[in-house]
Structure 1
Amino acid sequence: MRIISWLLCVLICSQISLAQDIRSVAITENFDNASLAKVLRILKNKYDLKIAYDDALITGTTVSGQFAQKPVTEFLDAILRNKGIDYQLLNDKIILIPKKVNLDVNTPSLFDITVFGLVQDASTGESLPNAVVRVSGLQRGVITNKDGYFSLPQVPTDTSTIEVSYLGYQKSQVKLKPGETKQTIKIMMQESSLDLSEFTVVENKFSTVKYGDQISQITIDPNNLSALPSLGELDIFRSLQYLPGIGGSDETSSALSIRNSPSTHNLVLFDGITLYRLDHFFGVFSAINADAVRDIQIYKGGFGAEYGGRVSGVVDITGTTGSFNEPNYSMGLNLLSARFSANVPFASGRGAFHVSARRAYTDIIRSNLFEKLYTNYRKKSNQVNQQAFNGLANEDDLIRPDFHFYDLNFKATYKVSTRDVMSLSVYQGRDDLDTDFDIVNFQDPNNPGTISQIDSYNEKADWGNNGIGLAWSRNWNRKYYSNLQLAFSDHYFDYFYNNERRNGAGDQIGLYEITRMNEVEDLQLNLKNELTVGGRHSLDFGINLSSINVFNKVDIRDLSGMTPDDRNPSSDGTILSFYLADNITLSKNLELRLGGRLNTTSVSDKSFFGQRAALVYQPLPHLELKLSSGKYFQIMREEVFDDPFSNNENSWNLAYESSKPGPRHLPVMESDHLIAGFQYEKNDLTIDLEFYEKQVSGLTEYNISHLYNPNTNRQSPSILIAPGTSNIRGLDLLIQKRIGPYQGWIAYTRSKALNRFESINNNSEIAAREDQRNELKFVHIIELPAWNFSATWVYGSGKPFYRPTINFIRNNQGELINFEVVNTQKTVERLPDYHRLDISIAHKFEGEHMRGEMGLSILNVYNRQNIQGRRLKRDEIEMAINNNEQMAPTNLYRDIVLLDFTPSLFLNLYF
């Protein structure tokens, strides 16, 4: 007992002495306009001080001065002087508190006014687009534009409180003062990130998903997405798949199927640059580096007149501007790739630039994860014999590709004046694949020297996106804002595949070769305007001019000869669009949005007008009812390439409906949207439910059958262009909850998508490729001071699989001599249900000049064998025919299995 009593006394005395030692700590530092947050981090890391504070209290506060051996109390007095901040010493901790001031209560002098302002990041000075600005106590408001400016009408008085919220940031409030409402109000926002255990953040409310100002609009915080499980790094597009209405039952696909439509029916913009392909590594990674992203807006349907050219949804990404205050850097490393980014100010804080780069090192170091992903891609292919994966002791040594990808982002922003901002955004991404290998088959396993067949494979592919955008925006006055942009986008896909088969004597007995080329050059001029008229009308209007050149070619060659592409390989055209939208505030609780978009084009004799209408009614402060309809057109569209003998790589092309001589007829796609639903949001609980119906016409499929030719006793490709329509309906449900450091949501989609094609199945209804009747997703995130934990579970009912008709050919003696595939007659089957569990854990650490995180993600924790699709066993069928054997219908296809248990490590550093 004496020992225990002695230890307790020592412990109590040490705690008392520690509290007394705070005053004896001496500070020696030099600061030049450093943020107070950075100063507090230095006190914590270098001087071992513990500090508690509210992020909102220090937002926008900077420190300058030279300090030599200053006692900590004198140091705090100096840096906090005239900043409205005081401090208290309590035991071993410094607590920052607001300084008491004499309140000067002003009476309002102006009523029903319009407030104009700018929302910025407090630490970097970067403008925050799509922040929600409203009068405190009222639910509805406005959102900031791309440059962070807002115009808020119908503010009750010039002493009202303005409230601003932005995902990933602490809510800010500004009390208006009489006489100052005619000035531009600057609102600085602080990121609501948790500090380490030595710091206590008083308020930390964060969210990853938030429904936006428009119907079917979702806002995403890319920073919080980094906590989700991944293949080693944050993947923007795959993270979006956890949302309702966006297909997520394929962990190796970065395509975005929004409400049962193909991803190419969606408009994807990066700083106004149109992206035509969204993936790296055949869908494993998305084409956008998360370090380059500031803001993401997703419109699942019913989008406004300012967007056009697609018939399903919109993903509008705003790139990171950079830092106008202090430079910062980051880098990351995982088992497949490495990345680096920098945000640097220039011109004395009037300008900032961001640069980020990412590269896979799979052509130098082939990790086990890469070997698994590549083998998974190979097994999905129609263009490799199943024998390549059967009975090989060293499969990875035999099939070793030369592959890598990279992307580069650069953005420079310069504030020409208080009214004018200019920016330059550049994007480049590329994939390169080169594979060349042989598969040798032996006639007699007991006689390894006898070769029966040699299959030689050669595959080369390179694809990518290049883009550049130059923009000038100006706030002409408090009510009028404009943005002028010149943007160029270049997408290319070049693919060559050759499979040559020879017998043991060296004679050629089989050949299948395909060459695919697709390139799109898109030059656009955009003028966007925002005008506030009175207190009830907010107008958006503008012009878009696109000049598009397309090169598209498909050649198929086999032993019977070449089957060339029957289309004109080159096409070009212009699209001129005008749009006008009016957001009308009918009352405090009712808002009407009307708009239209007129499209004229050189590729059609007709003009296309799409109307927009939306009604939002708020009967209760936390309840919103919504209704929307619209008509949409897609002139730049993609053709589906459906060939049972090769990979289905689709290609972009321009529609052509003119009566003048030219390429074959390719219709302009049209769709009609109808959306109705409600949203409830209170006490950190969000419930959003939307019913939708979408009717699409102008679909085409590039359908290829392989028919038997009795004159040559071989199969010959038969190409058919099949026009069609689609009818899609369903509902999306999101339930999201935040409790302390936990946030999570449930996303459920119930839907049905049916297609009709004139030349397929006699024009009867068949399930669309994207038709998944039920999809359920659970997402859980816990952010603690030093740890992040997350888990996701995804369930999807079976997707359709198209089984073409296969006819076996016999000679007069009844012997099997060949087979044919009739792709215009399909049997629709359902694949097994899909489900998987993913988890992630990350440890956060921090030093004086650096912070970071390292962690582990595991995909498919319980090793579920999920099937993505099926492939025809062409080579096995041919071998069976050579042996005069007919394979059973159940054995004609092999399953394409997705990733099994897949762990991945990652490291991220921030300077």
Structure 2
Amino acid sequence: MKKTAILFCFIFMGFYAHSLELKRLFNQSGSPEKITISGIVKDLATGETLPFANVFVVGTNNGTTTNIDGYFTLFDVPVENTSIRVKYIGYEAKTIKVASTMANTNIEIFLTPTTEQLDEVVLSAETEQQVVRFNKKVSQVALSPKELASIPNLGEKDIFRALQLLPGVSGTNESSAGLYVRGGTPDQNLILLDGFTVYHVDHFYGFFSAFNSEALKDIQLYKGGFPAEFGGRISSIMELTGKTGNNNKFTLSAGASLLSANIAMEIPLGKKANLLIAGRRSYTDIIQSGLYQDIFDLYNDDSSFGSDDQNMGGDFQNQRNETEPTFHFYDLNAKLSYRPSDQDIISLSLYNGEDNLDNSRESQNTFGQDNEGSVDTNISDVLNWGNLGSSLRWARKWNEKLYTKTIVAYSNYFSKRDRLSDVTVQRTDSTTNSVLGIIEDNELKDLTARLHAEYQINSDHMLEFGGQYTSNQVKYDYIMNDSLEIITRDNDGNLASLFVQDNWSATSKLDLLGGIRVSHFDITEEIYYEPRISGTYQLSDEIKLKAAWGKYYQFVNRIVREDVTQGSRDFWLLANDETNPISSSEHRIFGISYENDGWLLDVEYFEKDMTGLSEFSLRFQSALRSGSDDQYFFEGTGIARGVEFLLQKKVGAYTGWLGYTLSEVVHTFPDISDNPYYALHDQRHELKWVNMLKIGKWDLGATWVYGSGKPYTAPDGEYTITLLDGTTYEYVSVGDKNGLRLPPYHRLDLSATYSFKLGGGTGNAGLSLFNLYNRTNIWYKEFEVVEDNVIETNVNYIGFTPSIFFNVKF
């Protein structure tokens, strides 16, 4: 790998030197006057900077995108008879005539939000109404949070549910807001919010994401082949940029759905600073709506608790006192921004999100013909999980060529599950007590310092370089029956990384992005090299070829804990190359696209080889056996490959896309299965049809999702182990790993949103119909073995569910 990386760098430097020589040869005297234009792109209504906006010289291939703070630089712009055009999702495009006075100064370009137009206007055939923008770079997608109203959701706008409608991202996981991208799992995605890592993205068991769309202004998703500036994950990258708030005036917005309410305030603090505060909380612990009951019933399974009358004699009588569980979630976003000068931005961001469930209860039961015995059960059933994150960020545009950003970030993921049943059995001649259940406690802390620099050498080259230092602390305890320690871990690890990459316009048709990332991990004391390259070639004005290749490593992993009877669960651990190895992947991507002003047809083939995959299982070793917990960890490899098809209509009153993915995900774990097997998230076919229609003040949406059945494992019997003290434990005998398939998944969702003016503000109200034709989709199967007979129970996702929402902004 070291030789490959060094060879890669020499080849890239050779190309670079060759491009400079070509530029010298063709830069002849007598050419028209050309200038360099540098500036920033902002929202006209709020003064917010707009990241990743497209800025280009009309009629040429000379273009760029604004960086995460809205800055851009265009070189070699002719002065005479030339215009530049700026485009951004959710905003009216703007064309500006070039003048010589634009040289040697920072210009400000203001774009008008399309959502500010509340009058009933007829959209022209050239008006873009996109929620997402595809084909920016290889496997990169941009999403606008402010344009999500047209996409049906289960109650409120949700950025992760919108991303699940893209080809290559699984859209059939109602129980997880996490993204399964091109055969990867949610833990293999790096999620950055204003520079800090978010390890947990679920609210309400995954039916909602943990991010409030009212606090975000831009989302960038890299489905694969991502550049060297990002590291630590082997599947994909999601970069979220939080709002800085309205610079011009105080703004208050609020909204409510059947599950939660939210409020956001944007507060200018003088001319140079502003504060954004956005909060959201469910009121499910106060009001249990029909939607809440539908979701909660999927998880409120008491079958694992209580007492069994088979050892109590006849005439067992249940006298349980029913209690109502309490559940709520919340999240809070805050961001303080300060601009000491036109070149500097300093910001402090904070995020905190948490879910809390308390289903603790007590029950009394009697048995025997004369009620001579009783069973008292005290059930502790408490679960809470969430993420706390913050970052301090300083960005500076030193001149028209150099931009830097420095970040110090902290993140803390936590998950505590206390599910114990204290059972006291009283007979006429004896009293026995036992504690059954599990305790799981997982905590991950992340402290990171990061430096990123962009140096615009000329119109052909933009050099990016920087470094990162991350210190992780990961703890995990898994205890059965209050005393049996299955696994206990407390590990620290430090990762230091450097990267360099070059955005190179090799010719007027060929663009390349190449670089390398080098990391040192102190647990293994090894150096890891990650060379990467991607490129696009413009065959014609409409047709583009693209390709990417790269090597990736991951040093903190979410381990799957197999549970055949009740569905699999997971936990985070730090890699150590012993029980849970360092994960790695190699991406290979090839594609072609056809795009004009109104339509996009895009096809990409992807292939991802994965090593160092981990799984944790008790079914191959007795949990009662003494010794190290290493015996429960299994190492494997995997391959994900497939092809994505996308047809998108970009402009006009009616927009949307049709996406199809054909893929497979195959894992090989020699100690678990003699043969390779399909991963739990393998899905051969997935089809998504997204439709959005704007009629005056109405936004109408319809989505249809189809996915072929996913694999699962079923038991085929049971066996019993008797210990020396006479205690017996029953274990399930399991069939082929993921040898069966669930039925296909499909559903239709509809939504209607009406926008209106309200006094000095605006508002919208809407109705969303989830799973319109009430399809019974199976989430997973539960199994119980009784006298060697397997009893199978389907656990289904929710059926037809209507929801309403209301939002206002002043």
Q: TM > 0.5 between the two?
A: yes
1:681 aligns to what?
595
Write the distance in 1 (CA, Å) between the matches of 2:802 and 2:363: 30
One of 776, 800, 804 as aligned partner of 2:687:
776
Q: Secondary structure at the match of 1:761?
A: coil
1:694 aligns with 2:601: no
Structure 1 residues 399, 718: closer, same or farther in 2, change over 3 A? Answer: farther
1:656-715 per-residue CA deviation (whole Å, 9 max, x = no partner) reads 14xxxxxx543111100000001221131111111000001011111112878999xxxx
Q: Which runs of 5 or more residues in structure 2 are unaligned? A: 1-29, 310-317, 723-727
Alpha-carbon deviation of 1:402?
1.4
Q: Contact (CA 8 Å) 2:711, 2:738: kept in 1 or not?
A: no
One of 387, 402, 420 as aligned partner of 1:480:
402
Q: Greater CA deviation, 718-727 or 253-262?
A: 718-727
Q: Which amino acid aligns with 1:155?
A: V
1:227-253 per-residue CA deviation (whole Å, 9 max, x = no partner) reads 211221111111211111111113332
Write the distance in 1 (CA, Å) between the matches of 2:150 and 2:590: 32
One of 567, 570, 573 as aligned partner of 1:650:
570
Structure 1 residues 399, 903: closer, same or farther in 2, change over 3 A? Answer: farther
1:857 aligns with 2:779: no
1:869 aligns with 2:780: yes
One of 548, 554, 564 as aligned partner of 2:485:
564
Write the distance in 2 (CA, Å) between the matches of 1:872 and 1:437: 25
Q: Greater CA deviation, 828-837 or 458-467?
A: 458-467
One of 243, 248, 265 as aligned partner of 1:320:
243
Write the distance in 2 (CA, Å) between the matches of 1:271 and 1:185: 25
Alpha-carbon deviation of 1:415?
1.1
2:89 aligns to what?
167
2:801 aligns to what?
902
Q: Which amino acid aligns with 1:564?
A: E
Q: Which amino acid aligns with 1:897?
A: N
1:766-804 per-residue CA deviation (whole Å, 9 max, x = no partner) reads 101110111001111112222121111110000010224
Q: Secondary structure at the match of 1:226?
A: helix
Q: Which amino acid aligns with 1:224?
A: E
1:704-740 per-residue CA deviation (whole Å, 9 max, x = no partner) reads 12878999xxxxx995210001111001111111453
Q: Secondary structure at the match of 1:704?
A: coil
Alpha-carbon deviation of 1:331?
0.3
Query: Where in structure 2 are the equivalents of 1:462-611 lying within 5 Å?
Result: 462-500=384-422, 505=427, 511-557=435-481, 562-567=483-488, 569-611=489-531
Structure 1 residues 596, 112: closer, same or farther in 2, change over 3 A? Answer: farther
How many residues are treated as equivalent by the alignment?
A: 764
One of 679, 703, 709 as aligned partner of 1:798:
709
Alpha-carbon deviation of 1:526?
0.7
Structure 1 residues 247, 502: closer, same or farther in 2, change over 3 A? Answer: farther
1:226 aligns to what?
149
Q: Secondary structure at the match of 1:363?
A: coil
Write the distance in 2 (CA, Å) between the matches of 1:442 and 1:851: 61
Q: Contact (CA 8 Å) 1:430, 1:464: kept in 2 or not?
A: yes
Q: Secondary structure at the match of 1:843?
A: strand
1:278 aligns to what?
201
1:672 aligns to what?
586
Q: Contact (CA 8 Å) 1:655, 1:667: kept in 2 or not?
A: yes
Write the distance in 1 (CA, Å) between the matches of 2:405 and 2:344: 10
Write the distance in 2 (CA, Å) between the matches of 1:235 and 1:396: 39
One of 115, 118, 139 as aligned partner of 2:37:
115
Alpha-carbon deviation of 1:399?
5.5
Q: Which amino acid aligns with 1:410?
A: A
1:409 aligns to what?
333
Q: Secondary structure at the match of 1:238?
A: helix
1:785 aligns to what?
696
2:23 aligns to what?
none
Q: Percent identity?
A: 35
Structure 1 residues 113, 910: closer, same or farther in 2, change over 3 A? Answer: same
1:563-595 per-residue CA deviation (whole Å, 9 max, x = no partner) reads 31445x211111111000011111100112210
Q: Which amino acid aligns with 2:349?
A: S
1:616 aligns to what?
536
One of 289, 294, 299 as aligned partner of 2:217:
294
Q: Secondary structure at the match of 1:683?
A: coil
TM-score, structure 2 length as denominator? 0.89
1:136 aligns with 2:58: yes
Q: Secondary structure at the match of 2:68?
A: coil
Q: Which amino acid aligns with 1:163?
A: R
Query: Where in structure 2 are the equivalents of 1:152-191 lying within 5 Å?
Result: 152-157=74-79, 159-191=81-113
Structure 1 residues 395, 582: closer, same or farther in 2, change over 3 A? Answer: farther
One of 330, 343, 346 as aligned partner of 2:253:
330
Structure 1 residues 773, 164: closer, same or farther in 2, change over 3 A? Answer: same
One of 535, 543, 558 as aligned partner of 1:638:
558
Write the distance in 1 (CA, Å) between the matches of 2:373 and 2:117: 66
Q: Secondary structure at the match of 1:398?
A: coil
Q: Which runs of 5 or more residues in structure 1 are unaligned? A: 1-107, 389-393, 658-663, 712-716, 812-816
Structure 1 residues 171, 705: closer, same or farther in 2, change over 3 A? Answer: same
Q: Contact (CA 8 Å) 1:702, 1:721: kept in 2 or not?
A: yes
1:370 aligns with 2:288: no
Structure 1 residues 151, 692: closer, same or farther in 2, change over 3 A? Answer: same
1:391 aligns to what?
none
1:303 aligns with 2:303: no
Write the distance in 2 (CA, Å) between the matches of 1:653 and 1:395: 43
TM-score, structure 1 length as denominator? 0.79
1:214 aligns to what?
137
2:653 aligns to what?
741
Q: Contact (CA 8 Å) 1:195, 1:785: kept in 2 or not?
A: no
Structure 1 residues 827, 222: closer, same or farther in 2, change over 3 A? Answer: closer
Q: Secondary structure at the match of 2:617?
A: strand
Write the distance in 2 (CA, Å) between the matches of 1:732 and 1:508: 60
Write the distance in 1 (CA, Å) between the matches of 2:383 and 2:775: 31
Q: Contact (CA 8 Å) 1:270, 1:318: kept in 2 or not?
A: yes
Structure 1 residues 529, 810: closer, same or farther in 2, change over 3 A? Answer: closer
1:846 aligns to what?
757
Answer with 1 or 2: which has the greater Rg: 1
Q: Secondary structure at the match of 2:160?
A: helix
Q: Secondary structure at the match of 1:237?
A: helix
Query: Where in structure 2 are the equivalents of 1:31-42 lying within 5 Å?
Result: none
Write the distance in 2 (CA, Å) between the matches of 1:666 and 1:809: 30
Q: Which amino acid aligns with 1:723?
A: E
